[in-house]
Structure 1
């Protein structure tokens, strides 16, 4: 064992010398023993956004958290150069957040994939590796009649990846984001220390890492809170032709957490947006809206909610939906429902993914923009949004749904809009558009879409305090404005847990200053 450790350390030193040299010594596959360091791969230099392509100099496929610890310990202690490290989960980032130009990408999927389930009193939870995808946890937990409480819309994302952001979906109003449903974490800090942390043990690191954008440590294990899983779900959609009525009904639904288990909504811009998100619903449901003309478009909205059917609790789900729908103000006769299994409901986006893959429309550019918008500004945001898009040719989905502030822990690193009042409601908005090069969206077209999103985000931030979620800011100064009054705490946590600024280079928050051996660069 000691001989193996010595060989590993020597190989790491060779690697670091190679990366810090102006000459590139890594030109062919190399075996760094248990660390399994490999040369650049295509997957490590790309992501779902297909906007940025930054090639690392090496890829680490760790077999255990200790392998990550060895790498970060050497880099943290080394006086040489400015090698950076990015953890890569499922590669679903948009703007290269999990890339490391000329650095090292850690492929989290190579870590052990065990999932262990426990019960203490009335509390059930799962201990799961940071590189495991949520779909894997769902499949295993359902065998026990259990499931996590909070989800993302898409399940083929890693545990560590979503916990490094927040993890939101239609359950967030009820159970909070995924980061509010974590009991314990195992983290490898930028110093290379392996730390087990919780709300009561090393709480500063625990809170920093949750929503921390990969800046303070790499999540190698998490303890996820579970609940009883329903057998089926009653999934309901109602349509609107008035935005104020649409948001009013959404806020009504999130005020009834004892009856409603999921709330989302989306804008219906055209036929494509009406049907592409309706795979689970009948193809011929009786809603044939008039979308107007190109010069005078007519916009509709859809509220989506769900009620869990446990079947063993003697609750009539049809009656529950009837009680709820009687209080709503949707277009008369335009409320539709389907009954699906709990698994199929949570995995609903997978059906859309497979349809897009079959059409060759999945691996295209995704210039997405996600925002948290204060309730007081959601109507103005809608107006800004409609001024920046063409409803007749928009391809993709625009999500709008309410969240409740008191379900979020402000000790974590997530940035929410400042609330000027006691208003608990804010909105998540996701502009999830696709840009297909084969349909004429060249480099110039893509850059134009990205510029529109930057302008929209800037106008919403300055106009009514909206904040980006899954944020991307092209300059450190932009990040500082993004964090606002929370910047000092974020920077202090960086100095404590990753003082050499090794981690998360793709975010562009803390550029390394080679003149100060990797310490914080000065900027305003």
Structure 2
């Protein structure tokens, strides 16, 4: 068994596919702390955290999206964000924060934190949860919320499974836009990119650094929900329109192409960190100055996302930094590029530098017997 990272292998002694929180609890009680128990959603971890030599819990057995109401929707942890959106959009509603790739499970991203293009407005996905059902490591089934067992509620959101396994969540919903206006903004450097991300009056913001013949070029995407024209002074090089559903699912054509090219199945040694805003631009530029395009692979991606206005990541269980900027080297070990082992070593050095600069890895390192991933 492998995960999306493709560099680690796990051979579980047992696979359990529960259909209730009670079955998850029974599995943990039976393991009694002696056998590792690891929940697995879509196996999209990139460092082997969804793999185990012990008991693997297939969370896709818990994948029901329950009744949708204006205030929120109750969702089993094994449901994907695509399945949630398919249930809420007919009601004109959407989760405030979606992952770029919709085929991740709710429990996995809430356990990691969950960052999306609207996080500069709404914080993390884990910060938009009204209530959770959690099976704690001692086999207890607990409900928690801001007013009920707040300590557990704060610990499991962004806690990487250290304090229990999320089995159900009540997600906040907001009105969904009908259409979006996508503005592509070329940026001279990382400083300019972060300036756009912290000043542009946009509903959804993202950024990338892309290799070119003259080095790395920076590009921001500023998206307006139900917008008619770009904000004054933004200066986009390209403006596109799409329905909200099309925009939310924008990665599907790219994923289909990567599957056809064989890149989707290659190892993906990813490294992501939250950096303090005051050092982020310099850190990003110095990191990329020391890299060749092949160091991220033929289909690798460099992501930059400033969480403007939150002051932190918005999730107590996730280590926070001041004015966080998410910087990700989403490497693919393509043919002719560095090996997965070499990329993993480069990622270790990346995280060491990030910690020295006051940053923190994302997702948080897993400790203990259970780690929950998408």
Higher helix share: 1
Residue of structure 1 in register with 2:275 after alignment: 373
Per mean C-alpha deviation after superposition, the further-off stretch among 401-410 and 210-219 is 401-410
- The TM-score, its normalising length taken from structure 2, stands at 0.93
Per mean C-alpha deviation after superposition, the further-off stretch among 402-411 and 62-71 is 402-411
Query: Contact 2:118/2:204 (CA < 8 Å) preserved in 1?
Result: yes
Structure 1: gaps spanning 5 or more residues: 1-44, 271-290, 293-297, 310-316, 420-424, 477-500, 507-524
Cα distance in 2, alignment partners of residues 408 and 390 from structure 1: 32
Kindly report which structure 2 residues correspond to 1:230-245, keeping only aligned pairs within 5 A, or say none. 230-245=177-192
Cα distance in 2, alignment partners of residues 212 and 114 from structure 1: 23
| Partner secondary structure for residue 164 of structure 1 | helix
| Partner secondary structure for residue 155 of structure 1 | coil
Q: How many residues align?
A: 371
Change (3 A) 1:301 1:236: same
Residue of structure 2 in register with 1:111 after alignment: 62
Kindly report which structure 2 residues correspond to 1:265-280, keeping only aligned pairs within 5 A, or say none. 265-270=207-212
Change (3 A) 1:411 1:318: closer
Change (3 A) 1:380 1:408: closer
Higher strand share: 2
Kindly report which structure 2 residues correspond to 1:87-486, keeping only aligned pairs within 5 A, or say none. 87-101=39-53, 103-111=54-62, 113-119=64-70, 124-253=71-200, 256=201, 260-270=202-212, 291-292=213-214, 298-309=215-226, 317-319=227-229, 321=230, 324=231, 326-328=232-234, 335-391=237-293, 394=296, 395=298, 396-404=300-308, 406=310, 408=312, 412-417=316-321, 419=322, 425-436=323-334, 439-441=335-337, 445-462=339-356, 464-472=357-365
- The TM-score, its normalising length taken from structure 1, stands at 0.67
Matched, 1:503 2:344: no
Larger radius of gyration: 1
Change (3 A) 1:388 1:242: closer
Change (3 A) 1:247 1:97: same
Over 4 Å off, 4+ runs:
407-411
Higher relative contact order (CA 8 A, sep 6+): 2
Structure 2: gaps spanning 5 or more residues: none
| Partner secondary structure for residue 269 of structure 1 | strand
Change (3 A) 1:61 1:209: same
Shift of 1:358: 1.3
Shift of 1:335: 1.7
Change (3 A) 1:393 1:200: closer
| Partner secondary structure for residue 221 of structure 1 | strand
